[in-house]
């Protein structure tokens, strides 16, 4: 997340103050702010917390987060909805079950596993780590 944060911080220089807190050195502050996951991005106006996001964010997500902090409006939700996530997971597990009962068909079970992954990929830390590199190789901007 460091490159995305640096470029977004430069883009909003003078508009938004960015403070990085070392979680290993600031246990009391993490407890006071109720931070349980790393990375966590917080936005304050004055002394009041107005936004919170736990997990890695892309440049686009950070820009939306900073814009929301400046305007006081909630950022538009990113990712898939809960209903869509649940549908993908249920369908994937159903396909895995069909593959299992159809004589342990590896191809059918693999298709189900891919559908399950498609339901959770946006929360997968490994996918978040490698997807920017894949996008760079393919020439896709994030």
**What average pLDDT does this structure show over 133-141?**
77
Q: Where are the domains of the chain?
A: 2-71, 82-138
Q: Please, are residues 62 and 5 in contact by the beta-carbon 8 Å criterion?
A: yes
Lowest mean pLDDT among 43-47, 89-93, 125-129: 125-129
pLDDT digits (tens, 9 = 90+) for 34-47: 888 888 888 888 78
Asked whether the CA dihedral 116, 121, 126, 127 is positive or negative, the reply is positive
Q: What backbone torsions phi and psi does residue 56 show, to the nearest 5 degrees?
A: -70, 150
Rounded to whole angstroms, the Cα distance separating 113 from 99 reads: 10
Helices in 33-75 by DSSP H: which ranges?
59-71
Q: What is the rounded CA–CA span in Å between residue 106 and residue 82? A: 28
Question: What dotted CATH number matches 2-71?
Answer: 3.40.30.10
pTM for this model (two decimals) = 0.52
């Amino acid at each position: 997340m460091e490159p995305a944060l640096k470029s977004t911080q430069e883009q909003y220089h003078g508009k938004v103050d960015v403070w990085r807190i070392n979680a290993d050195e600031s246990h009391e502050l993490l407890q006071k702010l109720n931070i349980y996951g790393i990375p966590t991005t917080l936005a304050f106006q004055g002394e009041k917390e107005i936004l919170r996001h736990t997990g890695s964010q892309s440049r686009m997500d950070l820009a939306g987060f900073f814009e929301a902090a400046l305007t006081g409006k909630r950022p538009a939700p990113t990712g898939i909805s809960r209903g869509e996530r649940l549908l993908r997971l249920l369908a994937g597990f159903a396909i895995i079950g069909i593959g299992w009962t159809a004589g342990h068909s590896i191809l059918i079970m693999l298709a189900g596993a891919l559908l399950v992954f498609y339901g959770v990929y946006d929360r997968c830390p490994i996918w978040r780590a490698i997807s920017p590199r894949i996008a760079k190789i393919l020439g896709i901007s994030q």
